[in-house]
Structure 1
Amino acid sequence: MEYTQLGTSDLKVSRIGLGTWAIGGWLWGGTDEKEAIKAILYALESGINLIDTAPIYGFGLSEEICGKAIQEYGRRDQVIIATKAGLEWDQEEKSWRNSSRKRILKEIDDSLRRLRTDYIDLYQIHWPDPDTPIEETAETLYELYQAGKIRAIGVSNFSPEQMDAWRKVAPLHSNQPQLNLFQSHLKDTVFRYCHENQIGTLTWGTLAHGLLTGKFTADATFPKDDLRHNHPLFTGERFKQYLQAIERLKAFAKEKGKSITQLAVRWVLDQPGVTCALWGARRPEQLEEAAGTVGWSLTSEDLAYMDQILKETVPVPYQPPAKFGPPSRSDLGIKA
Structure 2
Amino acid sequence: MPLLMANGLRLKKFRGIGFIKQRNEEEKMEHVTIPQTKLDVSRVALGTWAIGGWMWGGTDEQESIRTIHAALDKGVNVIDTAPVYGFGRSEEIVGKALKEYGRRENVRIATKAGLNWTADGQVFRDCTPERITKEIDESLQRLGVDHIDIYFVHWPDPTVPIEETAQVMNNLFKQGKIGSIGVSNYSTAQMDAFRGEAPLHLCQPPYNIFEREIEQDILPYCKTNNIALMTYGVLCRGLLSGKMRRDREFKGDDLRKADPKFQQPRYDQYLAAVEELKALGSKKNKGLLPFAVRWVLDRDVEIALWGGRNPDQMEPLAEIEGWKVDSEIMQRVEDILDEHVTDPVGPEFMAPPSRNDVSMD
Residue of structure 2 in register with 1:325 after alignment: 351
Cα distance in 2 between the residues matched to 1:230 and 1:146: 40
Cα distance in 2 between the residues matched to 1:221 and 1:327: 27
Residue 82 of structure 2 aligns with an amino acid whose one-letter code is A
Cα distance in 1 between the residues matched to 2:346 and 2:237: 14
1:293 to 320, 328, 332: 320
1:9 to 26, 29, 37: 37
CA deviation map 1:170-205 (0-9, x unaligned): 100001000010111111211111111110111111
For 1:158-197, list aligned pairs within 5 A.
Answer: 158-197=186-225
The offset of 1:7, in angstroms, is 3.0
Secondary structure at the aligned position of 2:55 is classed as coil
Secondary structure at the aligned position of 1:236 is classed as coil
Residue of structure 1 in register with 2:16 after alignment: none
2:303 to 265, 276, 294: 276
CA deviation map 1:85-135 (0-9, x unaligned): 001112201111111111111000000000000000001000000111111
Cα distance in 2 between the residues matched to 1:287 and 1:299: 25
Does residue 164 of structure 2 align to residue 150 of structure 1? Answer: no
Residue 196 of structure 2 aligns with an amino acid whose one-letter code is K
1:128 to 156, 172, 178: 156
Cα distance in 1 between the residues matched to 2:84 and 2:116: 8
The offset of 1:324, in angstroms, is 5.5
Q: CA RMSD in A?
A: 1.3
Cα distance in 2 between the residues matched to 1:267 and 1:324: 23
CA deviation map 1:284-324 (0-9, x unaligned): 11111011112211111110111111111112211244x86
Runs of 4+ in structure 1 off by over 6 angstroms are none
Residue of structure 1 in register with 2:108 after alignment: 80
Does residue 93 of structure 2 align to residue 65 of structure 1? Answer: yes
Tell me if structure 2 keeps the 8 A contact 1:96–1:326: yes
Unpaired stretches in structure 2, ≥5 consecutive residues? 1-28
The offset of 1:258, in angstroms, is 0.2
Does residue 158 of structure 2 align to residue 115 of structure 1? Answer: no
Cα distance in 2 between the residues matched to 1:31 and 1:330: 31
The offset of 1:68, in angstroms, is 0.4
Residue of structure 1 in register with 2:168 after alignment: 140
Question: How many positions carry a matched residue from both structures?
Answer: 333
CA deviation map 1:126-165 (0-9, x unaligned): 0000111111111111111111110000110001000000
For 1:262-273, list aligned pairs within 5 A.
Answer: 262-272=290-300
The offset of 1:332, in angstroms, is 2.5
2:285 to 257, 262, 269: 257
Identical pairs, percent: 51
The offset of 1:281, in angstroms, is 0.3
Does residue 337 of structure 2 align to residue 310 of structure 1? Answer: yes
Secondary structure at the aligned position of 1:130 is classed as coil
Secondary structure at the aligned position of 1:288 is classed as helix
Does residue 54 of structure 2 align to residue 26 of structure 1? Answer: yes
Cα distance, 1:183–1:139 mapped onto 2, change above 3 Å: same
Cα distance in 1 between the residues matched to 2:294 and 2:199: 29
Higher relative contact order by CA 8 Å / sep ≥ 6: 1 or 2?
1
Tell me if structure 2 keeps the 8 A contact 1:8–1:199: no
Residue 239 of structure 2 aligns with an amino acid whose one-letter code is L
Cα distance in 2 between the residues matched to 1:217 and 1:206: 19
The offset of 1:231, in angstroms, is 1.4
Cα distance in 2 between the residues matched to 1:296 and 1:143: 41
The offset of 1:245, in angstroms, is 0.6
1:248 to 266, 276, 279: 276
The offset of 1:8, in angstroms, is 2.6
Residue 292 of structure 1 aligns with an amino acid whose one-letter code is E
Cα distance in 1 between the residues matched to 2:68 and 2:52: 13
Cα distance in 2 between the residues matched to 1:230 and 1:334: 23
Unpaired stretches in structure 1, ≥5 consecutive residues? none
Tell me if structure 2 keeps the 8 A contact 1:6–1:201: no
Residue of structure 1 in register with 2:245 after alignment: 217
Cα distance in 1 between the residues matched to 2:35 and 2:344: 30
Residue 327 of structure 1 aligns with an amino acid whose one-letter code is P
Q: TM-score, normalised by structure 2?
A: 0.90
